[in-house]
Structure 1
């Protein structure tokens, strides 16, 4: 990270401000990690026994409907 020194305040204080270089990349990385974690949790829930049994029952009832 590159730092710039500035002294434009009325009190004459000197401060350090970091540039925003790479901010968008880090935001995309965090969003990608969050999406992958959500997908992993969703996969674990969907492949769980109660959900699998419910979906199987739904498909069986749909196939057993008389026309």
Structure 2
């Protein structure tokens, strides 16, 4: 009985230590997500601000504003 209780207690303590060791991973995962989002935003900005895409978007807006119902 004593050995079973001791083994169970050891398992709980080890699980608690594992949780504490992985706690820093959450922050690094958020950081990597933010870096990826910013990189995607920069690429999207560069594409949308290029000459061809900008002209096409302006054409779409002009056609929408001049549309007759």
> One fold, TM greater than 0.5?
yes
Q: CA deviation at 1:26?
A: 0.5
Tell me which stretches of 4 or more aligned residues in structure 1 moved more than 3 Å. none
Which SS does the other structure have where 2:36 is aligned? helix
Q: CA deviation at 1:64?
A: 2.6
Higher-RCO chain (CA-CA 8 Å, sequence separation at least 6): 1
Q: Which has the higher helix share?
A: 2
Unpaired stretches in structure 2, ≥5 consecutive residues: 1-20
Equivalent residue for 1:16? Answer: none
Superposition RMSD on alpha carbons, in Å?
1.9
Q: Which has the higher strand share?
A: 1
Which among 12, 22, 25 is matched to residue 23 of structure 1?
25
Change (3 A) 1:21 1:55: same
Unpaired stretches in structure 1, ≥5 consecutive residues: 1-18
Which SS does the other structure have where 1:21 is aligned? helix
Tell me the matched-pair count: 50
